[in-house]
Chains A and B, each alone.
Chain A
């Protein structure tokens, strides 16, 4: 359902992605690993439609539709969800307001009626239990004053409420202690389904102990330099990323 072909993209004058090829089918979990600066976050941002990234070549298809023609919000309504590496604080906008507006925007897009306040709250409270979040967080401003772990849990809560077809988890494990990592992973695992795919972007193999991927790709120098099964992650954990530089696959300038 997601087809990435020879995708190149730059931020400012700098070319970051230099020809990415990746196919994601329903129900599959793909892990994208790589050293810092390899283009992992840029790839996440391209999929979500962030405007500071310019696509310079290649194609991005979502259910055979050109993703590049879609606005940021349209992609979200079409079922693509990005869990941010650094969730943004928005003082003055309530968490519950955002969840409701987001869910209703999506429902409207699908031709469904808006959820009434009672049903909506029941749904959110159920998902909050799963994320072991206190209900009081609903009535706080979006991510404002949340700890690192709370922010990441809040991301997965949004994902649980919106039930996307494709979730991109950008470094969701970064900054989490082991307890928070377990809660977040449980949340993500509970959302696994034969129709839902995920792309896990991570630097470390640790997250993959909790969320088992079907495929692991190594991104380096703006290209996918190796793909394999879950065992590849363990290999990376053991050998690090240094071999990429040695093999010359790291790209120019590194």
Chain B
């Protein structure tokens, strides 16, 4: 057993002595058993072929119970936009910096730490598929420390976004869960930001489940901005009923190792899913997106595009799977992945995977890997723009297409600003 798992064992035993409900203990035991059966992910597994967790294995990361007294809250750029804020520090809800004391009609927010045993049971059920996306999902089930459950009532349309803002104050591991339940014809925008302190190892192991009923609309934006030494592994599972619309905007902006497993199930006719993502890596950074969109019913639409910017010795993996079931006729699906390599040492492993069993569908996919356009660079410089600025502008322009697609203007502006932030060795 590696040092990371040894520490997990310690944490597990600590929880067993906690005076909590027995059903929860039972669930945790089963999840630990399942994790044992799956085993710690290694590069011999197809899904982990290019992504090694060997540096995380060596870290014995405890659960943080008290935040570091010297901790100063990070910048709250998003908060320029109006919204409901759920603030987390070290995996614990930080009510002092949250603004959820008065919720608008039609929305309910529960935290795992204060749920009743019945609610915890339901919460766990809603996360079953999310936790099956990888072995780390089972580990999450065994070690869950906090979670948030957002429920939106039928027809409720929240005008302001819900912000989940997570920061760490010290070296620690966190196993967290988010569930969003969208009733018929409800609408919501969620925006997550994950930050960590510099140069202190942290691991966020997150599972998320989105359940969208008929005609529900959910927009989700995620900014991953970890420091040097930050590990972030996230499994996101979403299920859409008829006419539901899901829009996902994951932005992997920084972090030592970031892995996303995203699975979207279009379960009933005319469900729609749009994914627009960015990953960006510099020296010694790694981003991995494994996405899977499953068309299970006719007349559904999916449109996915990821753009990657790779610099220094940065590395990224994109695996985009689209599956169209036998009776999912009239499916429309697009999948694209475009990469900009800025250094000779940078590496991208990209693979579109289409599995189509229906015969009346429109499905396309395309992948590109390229470098900065010399003509564009020369053009900008010939107008007096400094070499590094010109390069920076072109890199920003490349990803801007993605951030410009964010429907919420305030969030879009902040994201544009972050994409313009320098991670390109100026």
Nearest residue (CB) in A for B399 is: A92
B255 to chain A, nearest CB (A): 24
B361-379 CB mask vs A (1 if < 8 Å, else 0) is 0000000000001111011
B385 near A: Cβ within 8 Å?
yes
Task: Give chain B residues whose Cβ lies under 8 Å from the Cβ of A52.
Answer: 374
A80-116 interface bits toward B, Cβ cutoff 8 Å, 1 = contact, 0 = none:
0110100110111100001001100110010000000
Taking a contact as CB atoms under 8 Å apart, the answer to whether A92 and B382 are in contact is no
Counting chain B CB atoms within 10 Å of each CB, which of A87, A92, A162 scores highest?
A92
Within the assembled complex, what's the spacing in Å between the Cα atoms of A139 and B69? 48
Instruction: Give, as a whole number of angstroms, the nearest-CB distance from A169 to chain B.
Output: 13
- Range of interface residues on chain A? 20 to 34
The CA-CA distance from A72 to B373 in the complex, in Å, is: 16
Docked-complex contact A101 and B381, CB < 8 angstroms: no
Partner of A72, one of B378, B396, B400, B401: B378
Q: Does B21 contact A (CB under 8 A)?
A: no
With an 8 A cutoff between CB atoms, is A185 at the interface?
Answer: no
Within 8 A of B (CB), among A23-77: 48-52, 71-73, 75-77
In the bound complex, do residue A92 and residue B396 qualify as a contact, i.e. CB atoms below 8 Å apart?
Answer: yes
Closest chain A CB from B409 CB (angstroms) = 16
Q: Check if B397 sits within 8 Å of A93, measured CB to CB.
A: yes
Q: For A77, what are the chain B residues with a Cβ–Cβ distance below 8 Å?
A: 384
Q: Are B383 and A98 in contact (CB under 8 A)?
A: yes
B387: chain A residues within 8 A (beta carbon): 71-73
Q: How far is the CA of A94 from the CA of B9 in the complex (A)?
A: 54
**Does B386 sit at the interface, judged by CB under 8 A?**
yes
**Contacting pair B382 A49 (CB below 8 A):** yes
Which single member of B381, B383, B393 contacts A158 (CB below 8 Å)?
B383
Query: 15 new A-B pairs (CB below 8 Å) besides A90-B380, A93-B380?
Result: A50-B378, A73-B382, A73-B386, A73-B390, A75-B382, A76-B381, A81-B382, A90-B376, A101-B389, A101-B393, A102-B384, A105-B383, A105-B384, A109-B384, A158-B383
23 A-B pairs (CB sep. < 8 Å)? A49-B381, A52-B374, A73-B381, A73-B387, A76-B381, A81-B382, A84-B379, A88-B378, A90-B376, A92-B396, A92-B398, A92-B401, A93-B380, A93-B393, A98-B383, A101-B385, A101-B393, A102-B384, A105-B384, A105-B385, A109-B384, A141-B397, A162-B384
Chain B residues at the A interface, C-beta cutoff of 8 Å: 373-376, 378-387, 389-390, 393-394, 396-398, 400-401
- Name the 8 nearest CB pairs between A and B, nearest first: A92-B397, A76-B384, A102-B383, A72-B381, A88-B379, A105-B384, A92-B400, A73-B381
- A-side residues, CB < 8 A to B, are 48-52, 71-73, 75-77, 81-82, 84, 87-88, 90-93, 98, 101-102, 105-106, 109, 141-142, 158, 162
